Amino acid sequence: MKRIVITQSNYIPWKGYFDAIALADEFVIYDDMQFTRRDWRNRNIIKTPNGNKWLTIPVEVKGKYFQKINEAKISDKDWNKNHWNIIKNNYSKSQNFADYKDLFEELYLNCNSIYLTEINYRFIVAICELLQIKSNIRFSSEFELKEERSERLLDICLNLEGTDYYSGPAAKAYMNEQVFTEAGVKVHYFDYSNYPEYKQLHDPFEHYVSILDLIFCEGKSAVKFLKIAEK
């Protein structure tokens, strides 16, 4: 069995994203798809005393209606300093913040790329290392792919000699499973239900926040609150 996961890059993703990476033998960042505004590509949520807060990386979008994710450029060179200050101000009192402060401070303050894809990759790889997730990560732009959505995904699986393709549950709406079946590739969908709760700084509990929340609150025990802990 060789498991393939293909999904678009997210900024400091939620915990389910890292479970998907951990499951994969080959995790492919779908970076040559169209950039979508007001989506997870360039933003995510953290918790604050006043409720959830979006952290958004500003991206050049004027007149760029059809730009791909790997073409999206940053429009504010100080975004990283601003985000780090917000994170520091809201998580400095969390139980494990001090253990990871230097790591994330370096990730943020030395993040000088102008491309969103490179920034997201930087954080994803660093967090995988922290969680000891060792899956191979690559980009869809490495491959020559067909135009139809399902066929593109299948092409990647076949290029990587995958036997099993894992996708998010929302993909059921558009996935042409028949083309996978005919090619001998099994299709599976992630189940994001029944995640255990952990002690967050502020109530009520929220699952769909950046994994930074879990790391700062639980530290080395963070992996126990992922589905990979069940394996």
- Pairing type for strands 43-48 and 51-56 reads antiparallel
**Tokens 């999206």 found at:** 72
**Is pLDDT at 132 greater than 70 in this prediction?**
yes
CB 225 within 8 A of CB 196: yes
Query: Residue 145 — very low, low, confident or very high, per pLDDT cuts 50/70/90?
Result: confident
What local confidence, expressed as pLDDT, does residue 170 receive?
87
Region 195-207 average pLDDT:
97
DSSP state, 27?
E
Question: Do 92 and 99 meet the contact criterion of CB atoms below 8 Å apart?
Answer: no
- pLDDT greater than 70 at residue 105: yes
Tokens representing 30 are 């779908």
How much of the chain exceeds pLDDT 90, in percent? 90
Q: How many domains does the chain have?
A: 1
Q: What is the DSSP string of 38-76?
A: TSTTSEEEEEETTEEEEEE--B--TT-TT-BGGG-BBS-
Has residue 149 got a pLDDT over 80? no
What pTM does this model have? 0.95
Burial status of residue 65 (CB atoms within 10 A of its CB: 0-12, 13-18, 19 or more)? exposed
Q: Given pLDDT bands bounded at 50, 70 and 90, which one contains residue 229?
A: low
**Structure tokens, 31:** 């970076």
Q: Quick one: which of 152, 120, 146, 161 has its CA closest to 26?
A: 161
Residue 150 banded pLDDT, cuts 50, 70, 90: confident
What distance in Å separates the CA atoms of residue 183 and residue 205, rounded to the nearest whole number?
43
In the block, tokens 């990560």 appear at 137
Which range of residues forms the domain containing residue 225? 3-230
pLDDT score at 144: 84
Count helices and strands in the chain by DSSP H and E runs: 7, 7
pLDDT for the residue 230: 65
Structure token digits, residue 74: 């940053």
Q: Given this model, what pLDDT does residue 172 score?
A: 87
213-231: average pLDDT: 91
Q: Amino acid letter at 101?
A: K
